[in-house]
């Protein structure tokens, strides 16, 4: 589910009335992601919806943002705005795949109901069902094809048009996903990487850049900057995590990340005119997000960054639950 960070959570009290600052000082406090009660979230959304469009105009992060999804600041909080400058809270689903209707046992449904037509399936099933269920957008549409290995192709520009909902689209600049065991680590400073990024931007971005339904782009899912998984341990992480113990090592990682975002930034801007809409996932590495926000050329490399943070305790609980389930 794609939910932009529309509320500055640390400034709001929780449902018990205790401030986040007070909870941080409490004994036994664990540094986990802040939470926002449903009551405060709904109140903040209602307040944003009531604000006039002019209130956002001076605080947007984009150049010539009128007519596109953008971000704007109001009262110290950031909001996602629609092309008509209305506050927007994205309720979206990920992962769509029509091939599940083409197994031998149900292929007759695909042929009979949808006439082997992908666009018809989206128009008559996906879009109306999403709207009926209360969703107003879609996130990463690619579905798992092989568990912990690969995903299905993304939607095309034409498929997004038939869907007729706000969407996010992945630009596959790099295959350094933590679930991908097949691709080697890219060299961000090689000419070949620059050529590939140019192709990715030319192929997809040049067609989507003027679409008002486009919220933003993903670049990579759970990148292996400083970690690996059993399936891709052979290639190693992009950067040696042991080096992060020193300031020199952190500076080296920052240089690597800056190189990556500079190349992808330039590729997008080459086919994007004055606008840049991006979303990155740094997988618990603030130094990577910081690198995306600056460059030697004094321009932002990414207008919107998200830091995925999963507390170690939550991971441990999840693994324990999986083991318990597998034993029953």
| 19-44 residue pLDDT tens | 444 444 444 434 444 455 666 656 66
In 113-183 the beta strands, taken as DSSP E runs, fall at 137-138, 144-146, 150-151, 167-170
Which of 120-129, 261-270, 278-287 shows the highest mean pLDDT? 120-129
Q: Could you give the 3-state DSSP secondary structure of residue 178? A: coil
pLDDT at 193: 95
Which of 46-50, 231-235, 279-283 shows the highest mean pLDDT? 231-235
Among 11-25, 134-148, 278-292, which is the least confidently predicted range?
11-25
Block residue for tokens 């679409």: 211
Question: What length does the chain have?
Answer: 328
Cα–Cα distance for residue pair 48/87, rounded to 1 Å:
6
pLDDT at 319: 52
| 171-183 residue pLDDT tens | 999 888 788 888 8
Asked if the model's pLDDT at residue 284 lies above 60, the reply is no
**Residue 150 has what DSSP assignment?**
E
Which of 74-78, 212-216, 270-274 shows the highest mean pLDDT? 212-216
Pairwise pLDDT comparison (320 vs 85), residue with the higher score: 85
pLDDT at 133: 95
Among 1-5, 119-123, 227-231, which is the least confidently predicted range?
1-5
Average pLDDT over residues 256-260: 93
Cα–Cα distance for residue pair 248/243, rounded to 1 Å:
8
Strand partners, 87: 81
What end-to-end distance do the CA atoms of the chain give, in Å? 29
Given pLDDT bands bounded at 50, 70 and 90, which one contains residue 66? Answer: confident
| 218 contacts 282 by C-beta, under 8 angstroms | no
Asked if the model's pLDDT at residue 293 lies above 70, the reply is no
pTM of structure: 0.70
């Amino acid at each position: 589910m794609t939910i932009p960070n529309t509320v500055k959570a640390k400034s709001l009290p929780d449902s018990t009335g205790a401030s986040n600052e007070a909870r941080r000082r409490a004994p036994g406090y664990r540094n986990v992601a802040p939470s926002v009660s449903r009551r405060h979230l709904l109140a903040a959304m209602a307040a944003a919806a009531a604000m006039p469009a002019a209130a956002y105009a001076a605080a947007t992060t984009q150049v010539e943002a009128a007519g596109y999804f953008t971000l704007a600041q109001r009262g110290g909080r950031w909001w996602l705005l629609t092309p008509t400058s209305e506050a927007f809270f994205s309720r979206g689903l990920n992962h769509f795949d029509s091939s599940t209707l083409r197994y031998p046992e149900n292929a007759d449904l695909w042929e009979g109901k949808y006439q082997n037509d992908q666009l018809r399936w989206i128009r008559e099933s996906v879009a109306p069902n999403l709207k009926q269920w209360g969703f107003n957008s879609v996130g990463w549409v690619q579905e798992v094809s092989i568990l912990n290995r690969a995903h299905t192709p993304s939607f095309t520009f034409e498929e997004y048009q038939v869907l007729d909902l706000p969407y996010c689209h992945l630009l596959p600049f790099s295959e350094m996903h933590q679930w991908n065991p097949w691709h080697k680590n890219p060299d961000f400073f090689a000419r070949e990487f620059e050529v590939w990024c140019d192709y990715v931007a030319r192929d997809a971005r040049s067609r989507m850049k003027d679409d008002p339904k486009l919220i933003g782009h993903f670049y990579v899912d759970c990148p292996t900057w400083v970690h690996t998984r059993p399936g891709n341990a052979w290639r190693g992480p992009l950067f040696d995590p042991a080096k992060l113990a020193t300031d020199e090592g952190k500076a080296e990682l920052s240089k690597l990340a800056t190189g990556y975002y500079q190349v992808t930034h330039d590729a997008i801007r080459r086919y994007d005119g004055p606008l840049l809409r991006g979303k990155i996932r740094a997988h618990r590495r603030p130094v990577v997000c910081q690198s995306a926000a600056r460059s030697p050329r004094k321009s932002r490399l990414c207008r919107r960054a998200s830091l995925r943070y999963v507390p170690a305790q939550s991971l441990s609980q999840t693994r324990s639950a999986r083991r318990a389930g597998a034993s029953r």
